[in-house]
Structure 1
Amino acid sequence: MNTKDQHTLVIITDSFLIKPSVITSFLLGLLLSYLGYQFTLNQENKEISHELNTVKLLYQTAFVRELELNIEILRDIRKFYQSSNLVTREEFKQFTVETIEKMPAIKALEWVPRVPQTGIDRYIQDARDDGLANFDITQNDSRGNMVAVGRNKAFYYPVFYIEPLKGNEKALGYDLSSSPARKKTIIASMNSGETLATTPIQLVQEQERSTAYLFMEPVYRGDRTQRQARLENFQGFALGVFHIQPLFLSSLNSAGLYNNQVLVHMEDVSDPGSPVSLFKTYSQEPVQETVHYRQTITIKRLGRTWQLTLHPSQEFIKQFQSNRAQIVFISGMAFTLLVVSFLFLLIGRERAIRQLVEQRTRQLQMEQRRSQAILDTTLNAIITINASGLIQSCNPAGQRLFGYRETELLNNNIKMLMPSPYAEHHDNYLSNYLTSNVSKIIGNGREVKGLKKDGSTFPIFLSVDQASLEDTIIFVGVIADLSQQKENEKILVDAKEKAEMHSRAKSEFLSMMSHELRTPLTVILGYLPLLTNKDKLPLAEIIAEIASEMKDSGEHLLVLINDILDISKIEAGKLEIKRQWQNSHNVVEECLQSLKNSVQGKNVQLVNQVPDLKIFSDPTRIKQIFINLLSNAIKFTAQGAITVRGEQSEKNIIFEVQDTGCGIDNSALPLLFDKFYQVDSSSTRKVRGTGLGLAITKRLIELHGGTISVASQKGVGTTFTFSINNILEANHELNSTG
Structure 2
Amino acid sequence: MACVGIYRNIGLDRKSRMDWIPPCLEGCISDISRRSRCQPVPGKARARGDFLEVRPAFSVKALAVAVLATLVAAVLPSVYWISRNQLADQDLRSGIAMQSSNIKYLLQNQFNGFELIARSVKGFIDGSENVTAQEFHVFIDSLNLQMISPGLQGVGYVRWVTGEDAPARALELVRSKQGSSAYSIRPAGERPSYAPIIFMEPVKGNEHAIGFDIFSVPEARLSAELARETGDLISTESIPLVQDATQRKLPGFVLYLAAFIPGPAQVAELQELRGWVDLPFRLDDVLAPIAKTLEPGLQLVFFERQNSKNVLFSHGFPPGASAANASAEELEFSRTDYLAFAGRRWYFQVIPTEAYLENKHKSTHHWIASIGILLSASLGLILFLLLTSRDRARAGPGDDLEPAPDHGRAQRHARCDSRSAVRDGPGRALPRHPHQQPGQPEPACGPGAAQHRP
CA distance in 2, matches of 1:122, 1:96: 26
What's the secondary structure of 1:122's corresponding residue?
helix
What's the secondary structure of 2:154's corresponding residue?
strand
Query: 1:465-507: CA deviations, max 9, x gaps?
Result: xxxxxxxxxxxxxxxxxxxxxxxxxxxxxxxxxxxxxxxxxxx
Correspondence 1:333 to 2:374 = yes
Aligned to 1:468: none
Aligned to 1:201: 239
Output the amino acid matched with 1:122. Answer: R
How do residues 127-206 of structure 1 correspond to structure 2 at under 5 angstroms? 127-129=174-176, 130-139=178-187, 148-150=188-190, 152-153=191-192, 155-203=193-241, 204=244
Query: 1:81-114: CA deviations, max 9, x gaps?
Result: 0111111112222222453443431112211111
Correspondence 1:211 to 2:251 = yes
The structure with the largest alpha-carbon Rg is: 2
Query: 1:360-416: CA deviations, max 9, x gaps?
Result: xxxxxxxxxxxxxxxxxxxxxxxxxxxxxxxxxxxxxxxxxxxxxxxxxxxxxxxxx
How do residues 146-545 of structure 1 correspond to structure 2 at under 5 angstroms? 148-150=188-190, 152-153=191-192, 155-203=193-241, 204=244, 209-222=249-262, 229=268, 232-250=271-289, 257-269=293-305, 272=306, 274=308, 276-284=310-318, 285=322, 286-314=326-354, 316-317=356-357, 318-319=359-360, 321-338=362-379
How do residues 555-704 of structure 1 correspond to structure 2 at under 5 angstroms? none
Aligned to 2:395: none
Judge conservation of contact 2:338–2:348 (CA < 8 Å) in 1. Answer: yes
Aligned to 1:479: none
Query: 1:186-232: CA deviations, max 9, x gaps?
Result: 11110110100000123545865432210111111226999x94674
Judge conservation of contact 2:159–2:198 (CA < 8 Å) in 1. Answer: yes
Change (3 A) 1:34 1:225: farther
Change (3 A) 1:158 1:16: same
Query: 1:95-148: CA deviations, max 9, x gaps?
Result: 224534434311122111111133432332243343332322223xxxxxxxx1
CA distance in 2, matches of 1:137, 1:238: 18
Aligned to 1:66: 110
Aligned to 1:86: 130
What's the secondary structure of 1:106's corresponding residue?
coil
Judge conservation of contact 1:65–1:251 (CA < 8 Å) in 2. Answer: no
Q: CA deviation at 1:57?
A: 2.5
Q: CA deviation at 1:29?
A: 5.1
Judge conservation of contact 2:99–2:294 (CA < 8 Å) in 1. Answer: no
- Higher RCO, Cα 8 Å, sep 6+: 2
Output the amino acid matched with 2:174. Answer: A
CA distance in 2, matches of 1:182, 1:329: 63
Aligned to 1:108: 154
Judge conservation of contact 1:38–1:325 (CA < 8 Å) in 2. Answer: no
Judge conservation of contact 2:174–2:183 (CA < 8 Å) in 1. Answer: yes
Q: Which runs of 5+ in 2 are unaligned?
A: 1-31, 40-52, 384-454
CA distance in 2, matches of 1:123, 1:55: 48
Judge conservation of contact 1:66–1:251 (CA < 8 Å) in 2. Answer: no
Aligned to 1:76: 120
Change (3 A) 1:217 1:341: farther
CA distance in 2, matches of 1:275, 1:308: 12
Aligned to 1:447: none
1:41 to 69, 85, 88: 85
Aligned to 1:612: none
Change (3 A) 1:27 1:123: same
CA distance in 1, matches of 2:227, 2:154: 20
CA distance in 2, matches of 1:301, 1:314: 33
Output the amino acid matched with 1:325. Answer: H
Aligned to 1:475: none
Judge conservation of contact 2:157–2:275 (CA < 8 Å) in 1. Answer: yes
Task: Quote the sequence identity (%).
Answer: 17
CA distance in 1, matches of 2:234, 2:184: 27
Q: CA deviation at 1:42?
A: 1.7
CA distance in 2, matches of 1:112, 1:244: 22
Output the amino acid matched with 2:225. Answer: I
Query: 1:611-639: CA deviations, max 9, x gaps?
Result: xxxxxxxxxxxxxxxxxxxxxxxxxxxxx
Change (3 A) 1:182 1:231: farther
Aligned to 2:46: none
CA distance in 2, matches of 1:44, 1:231: 63
Aligned to 2:442: none
CA distance in 2, matches of 1:187, 1:176: 11
Change (3 A) 1:93 1:341: farther
Query: 1:301-322: CA deviations, max 9, x gaps?
Result: 1111111211234564424631
Q: CA deviation at 1:245?
A: 3.1
Output the amino acid matched with 1:120. Answer: P
Judge conservation of contact 2:227–2:233 (CA < 8 Å) in 1. Answer: yes
CA distance in 1, matches of 2:309, 2:352: 22
Aligned to 1:421: none
Output the amino acid matched with 2:162. Answer: P
Output the amino acid matched with 1:138. Answer: R
Query: 1:566-608: CA deviations, max 9, x gaps?
Result: xxxxxxxxxxxxxxxxxxxxxxxxxxxxxxxxxxxxxxxxxxx
Q: CA deviation at 1:281?
A: 1.0
Q: CA deviation at 1:273?
A: 6.4
CA distance in 2, matches of 1:114, 1:198: 18
Aligned to 2:170: 123
What's the secondary structure of 1:173's corresponding residue?
coil
More strand by share: 1
Q: CA deviation at 1:45?
A: 1.1
CA distance in 1, matches of 2:82, 2:173: 75
Output the amino acid matched with 2:115. Answer: I
Change (3 A) 1:341 1:33: farther
CA distance in 1, matches of 2:64, 2:265: 86
